[in-house]
A and B are shown apart, each in its own frame.
Chain A
Amino acid sequence: MLLLVLSIGVVIASFLLSSYICYTLIKLGFGDSMPSTEQVILSAGFGPTVVVTMCYYLLLFSPFDSALAYVITVLTILSGLALWLFVRFRADFLTHALAPFSIWTTPDFELTPQIPFLNGFNLKWGGRHIDAFKVLVLFIFIYIVIYWLEFVANKPLTGHDVLEYALLANTFVDWLDIDYEVHIVNEQTGFYFLGLHGYGFPLLGFWEKAVNSVFEVRGDYFFRAATGYYSFLTVMMVYYFLKRQFNLKVAMVSLAMLFSSYAFYLMVREYHIDALRMFTLLGSWLLLFYAWKSQNRYTMWILGAALGICSFVHSINFMISCFVFLALVLFLEGTMSERLKKLAGCALTFILFGAIHYLLDLAIGSGWILKDFLGR
């Protein structure tokens, strides 16, 4: 049990480090043109995918033959980079990460009068007045967190697609290598990877299982938790963006409509790639929204990296990212050559952070969506 807790701790620590790296880079690129809350949400979501990208390149070149070596390498690079960024820029991640919660501790900010059915509802604690709506939301939040933790701890992975990804993660742990081949088959188990999509999600599982194998424990808790985690971040992203760009009413109604649909409920509750897929897609669009305003070289690099990561998760995201490039080419400011110059760095990071997978798969792998055309 202790080893399992340690293993989960290492996974969480690695994701915190990578989220900090993401936060600093976004902060440096966008400065105050993007609100801190959005920066924190994007960093928390894209953070784990930085680890995924590192694992991808390490497995592609496969310099080691033990999981321990991979884990130590990733942790060393992450710690080194995070430390260097902290010493150099001292971005205050924690204060901003906690900023969204500050309204709950600000006594003069009351939500109750804005909600009709709570009007006149009066709560007192130790002689002090407490905002009833804040208490209500806090209780709902705590309930959801407890329910989610209990759910993740007890509900095993089920469902065809998510198990395919989990089996691919196991295969990567077995092989400690990524080879582009026409048929990806783990002869030991008989598993054949049928998917056409990038390795973003399976490598999230690989990292957890690689850490587990170092501690000699079994489990896929983070892989399970990813669905709820990315669903939560997606909801937060939609809420804060709409509240900031429009108003509280638009944000609340949109969220209520999201949750009124059965498909969204399924997405939140069933372990699947969808939450990660949707978060990375919407996250890259959010970055596009802010990058459009600044249109400088750094924001374009960050945008390219986000689009690459988004593509690495799913083929549909890759195609949509290509549409983003098309729109950038057509509608960015300046002449065509100026636009292309601006986009060169963006295209490079796009390829490096995920699109490379599809290029390799087309060139030397299964042939991706052109497998029939290429006769593979």
Chain B
Amino acid sequence: MMSLPKNIRFLIGGAIAVVLIVYSLILFSTDESASMYLNERGIDSLPKLVLNGFLGQFFKYKYLGNLVWVAFPFLLIHLAKLKGKSSSIKAFTLIYVLSVLLIAVQGYYNTRYQLSLFPVTISFLVVALFDFLKERNIKPSATIIILGVGLMTVFNYTVFGVEKLLENPPEQTFKPKPVRLPKAPQINLGKRIGALADTLNNKLDRTWPLLIEHDGIEGDRRHIFYQIDSLPFEERILVNNQPLVLYYTNKPGVMYWCRKDLLSTQRGRYPLLESRDNLEVRNYLIDSLQCKYIFSTLHYNEYNPRFVEFLAEQCDTALQEGDYVLYEIR
């Protein structure tokens, strides 16, 4: 392999500098005054909105890796040289550019949408990069490629590893109540091996809810769904953006999303808290919607302080497992 020409070395050096600057700009700045929703989506300041949001298909390092941004300048070069190319290349470029713009405008807040064109972008980048090196008669060895991609992978995943380590467990604002589990069948082995039977029975008591035939969610969190199933059928549950309850229990519900304060019913979508005080909300839930319970998560509650206020004033915590909470309306 020939040594890198001076201008290429400058280009690589400059690129690394840009990466570092943009990285720190995106990852290590948080606008505390912005809403929780914007913070979680990583679009809580103008530079983050532009780089993580509108240009997120190229610059959302955290999810899409730290090299995909290189496709952006290559794309600009490709567009500049488009004149004189075949009609099929022009057609594909038009489709790709319009798709990028569509996702930039309509999907800037959602990593999943930004992932839509990712395989195409990556393929374009690799092909353009190989062409770029070939034009300059530089032949990267397989070892360098493998090491490069390997290091990049380690780096990409390390970002998440470090973040996970720094993550604080969610604060529990409500005191959990002990969950009453269904009684397990007892084993009677007589007095002689009574101690063994006790041990077995204790184990059964603990594991019984996990063994019963009931589609459950992630291990120990399934108890709460079993409990919800045993509630009186005619009393509905207000479900705060958690379709889990409707899918895994036989309990009828009413869908609600506290972040937008929107109920979703046969009548359409309309606000619950707006223009009602807490007592009126309680009466509306019980009398009009036949809801006696509310299912939510501590995390979701934080999206709407007014909802938290209502829960504190008009509801009791009936059950809590991890982040999941079932409230009983007083």
Q: Cβ of B118 < 8 Å from any Cβ of A? A: yes
- Given A160-B243, A167-B246, A238-B123, A263 and B115 touching (CB < 8 A)? yes
B90, B92, B116, B266: the one within 8 Å of A185 (CB): B266
| Cβ of A223 to closest chain B Cβ, rounded Å | 11
Name B85-127 residues within 8 Å CB distance of A. Answer: 87-88, 90-92, 94-95, 98-99, 102-103, 106-107, 111-116, 118-120, 122-123, 125-127
| Cβ of A329 to closest chain B Cβ, rounded Å | 10
Q: Which one of A31-39, A73-81, A272-280 is at the interface?
A: A272-280
Q: Cβ of B272 < 8 Å from any Cβ of A? A: no
Q: Cβ of A144 < 8 Å from any Cβ of B? A: no
Q: Evaluate contact between B126 and A254: CB separation under 8 angstroms.
A: yes
List of A residues within 8 angstroms of B239 by Cβ = 190
B156, B253, B264: the one within 8 Å of A260 (CB): B156
Q: Cβ of B325 < 8 Å from any Cβ of A? A: no
- Given A242-B123, A246-B127, A323-B94, A188 and B68 touching (CB < 8 A)? no
B94, B107, B115, B242: the one within 8 Å of A267 (CB): B115
The chain B residue with its CB closest to the CB of A323 is B98
List of B residues within 8 angstroms of A254 by Cβ = 119, 122-123, 126
- Given A191-B255, A261-B64, A327-B92, A316 and B122 touching (CB < 8 A)? no
List of B residues within 8 angstroms of A238 by Cβ = 119, 123
Q: Cβ of A324 < 8 Å from any Cβ of B? A: yes
Q: Evaluate contact between A330 and B94: CB separation under 8 angstroms.
A: yes
The chain B residue with its CB closest to the CB of A265 is B157
List of B residues within 8 angstroms of A278 by Cβ = 115-116, 119
A194 to B68, CA, bound (A): 33
Q: Cβ of B244 < 8 Å from any Cβ of A? A: yes
List of B residues within 8 angstroms of A188 by Cβ = 252
List of A residues within 8 angstroms of B98 by Cβ = 320, 323, 326
A115 to B143, CA, bound (A): 9
Q: Evaluate contact between B246 and A277: CB separation under 8 angstroms.
A: no
| Cβ of B126 to closest chain A Cβ, rounded Å | 5
A188 to B244, CA, bound (A): 16
Contact with A along B39-52 (1 / 0, CB 8 A): 00000000000000
Q: Evaluate contact between B120 and A285: CB separation under 8 angstroms.
A: yes
Q: Evaluate contact between B244 and A331: CB separation under 8 angstroms.
A: no
- Given A249-B142, A263-B64, A256 and B91 touching (CB < 8 A)? no
Q: Which one of B22-30, B173-181, B212-220 is at the interface?
A: B212-220
Q: Evaluate contact between B112 and A262: CB separation under 8 angstroms.
A: no
Q: Cβ of A58 < 8 Å from any Cβ of B? A: no
List of A residues within 8 angstroms of B67 by Cβ = 257
List of A residues within 8 angstroms of B113 by Cβ = 316
Name the residue in B63, B87, B120, B123 with the highest tally of chain A Cβ atoms < 10 Å from its Cβ: B123
List of B residues within 8 angstroms of A166 by Cβ = 243, 247
- Given A191-B255, A253-B126, A327 and B95 touching (CB < 8 A)? yes
Q: Evaluate contact between B247 and A157: CB separation under 8 angstroms.
A: yes
Q: Evaluate contact between B241 and A160: CB separation under 8 angstroms.
A: yes
Contact with B along A181-221 (1 / 0, CB 8 A): 01101011111101000000000000000000000001000
List of A residues within 8 angstroms of B60 by Cβ = 263
Name B140-196 residues within 8 Å CB distance of A. Answer: 141-143, 145-146, 149, 152-153, 156-157, 159-160
The chain A residue with its CB closest to the CB of B218 is A158
List of A residues within 8 angstroms of B84 by Cβ = none
A264 to B218, CA, bound (A): 22
Q: Evaluate contact between A189 and B246: CB separation under 8 angstroms.
A: yes
Name A227-273 residues within 8 Å CB distance of B. Answer: 234, 238, 241-242, 246, 249-250, 253-254, 256-264, 266-267, 272
A192 to B265, CA, bound (A): 7
List of B residues within 8 angstroms of A117 by Cβ = 143, 146
Q: Cβ of B236 < 8 Å from any Cβ of A? A: yes
Q: Evaluate contact between B264 and A194: CB separation under 8 angstroms.
A: yes
Q: Evaluate contact between B115 and A274: CB separation under 8 angstroms.
A: yes
Contact with B along A274-292 (1 / 0, CB 8 A): 1001100110010011001
List of A residues within 8 angstroms of B65 by Cβ = 257, 260-262
Name the residue in B114, B115, B243, B266 with the highest tally of chain A Cβ atoms < 10 Å from its Cβ: B243
Count class of interface residues, chain B: 35 or more
Q: Evaluate contact between B91 and A330: CB separation under 8 angstroms.
A: yes
Q: Cβ of A319 < 8 Å from any Cβ of B? A: yes
Q: Evaluate contact between A191 and B246: CB separation under 8 angstroms.
A: yes
Q: Cβ of A338 < 8 Å from any Cβ of B? A: no
Q: Cβ of A127 < 8 Å from any Cβ of B? A: no
Q: Evaluate contact between A262 and B91: CB separation under 8 angstroms.
A: no
Q: Cβ of B130 < 8 Å from any Cβ of A? A: yes
Q: Evaluate contact between A250 and B116: CB separation under 8 angstroms.
A: no
List of B residues within 8 angstroms of A250 by Cβ = 123, 126-127, 130
| Cβ of B265 to closest chain A Cβ, rounded Å | 7
Contact with B along A319-342 (1 / 0, CB 8 A): 110011011101111000000000
Name the residue in B103, B122, B268 with the highest tally of chain A Cβ atoms < 10 Å from its Cβ: B122
Name A155-183 residues within 8 Å CB distance of B. Answer: 156-158, 160, 163-164, 166-167, 170, 182-183
Q: Evaluate contact between B119 and A192: CB separation under 8 angstroms.
A: no
B91, B160, B215, B243: the one within 8 Å of A164 (CB): B243
Name the residue in A116, A260, A272, A288 with the highest tally of chain B Cβ atoms < 10 Å from its Cβ: A260
Name the residue in B103, B159, B218, B246 with the highest tally of chain A Cβ atoms < 10 Å from its Cβ: B246
List of A residues within 8 angstroms of B248 by Cβ = 156
List of A residues within 8 angstroms of B125 by Cβ = 257
B87, B118, B143, B145: the one within 8 Å of A263 (CB): B118
List of B residues within 8 angstroms of A194 by Cβ = 255, 264
The chain B residue with its CB closest to the CB of A325 is B95
Q: Evaluate contact between B127 and A272: CB separation under 8 angstroms.
A: no
List of A residues within 8 angstroms of B156 by Cβ = 260-262
Q: Evaluate contact between A316 and B102: CB separation under 8 angstroms.
A: yes
Can you add 4 more A-B contacts, CB < 8 Å, to A192-B265, A192-B269, A262-B156? Answer: A234-B119, A289-B88, A316-B107, A331-B91
For the complex of A and B, 8 pairs with smallest distance between CB atoms: A192-B264, A263-B63, A260-B153, A163-B243, A261-B65, A327-B91, A331-B91, A190-B253
Q: Give the interface of B toward A (CB within 8 A).
A: 60, 62-65, 67-68, 87-88, 90-92, 94-95, 98-99, 102-103, 106-107, 111-116, 118-120, 122-123, 125-127, 130, 141-143, 145-146, 149, 152-153, 156-157, 159-160, 215-218, 236, 239, 241-244, 246-248, 252-255, 264-269
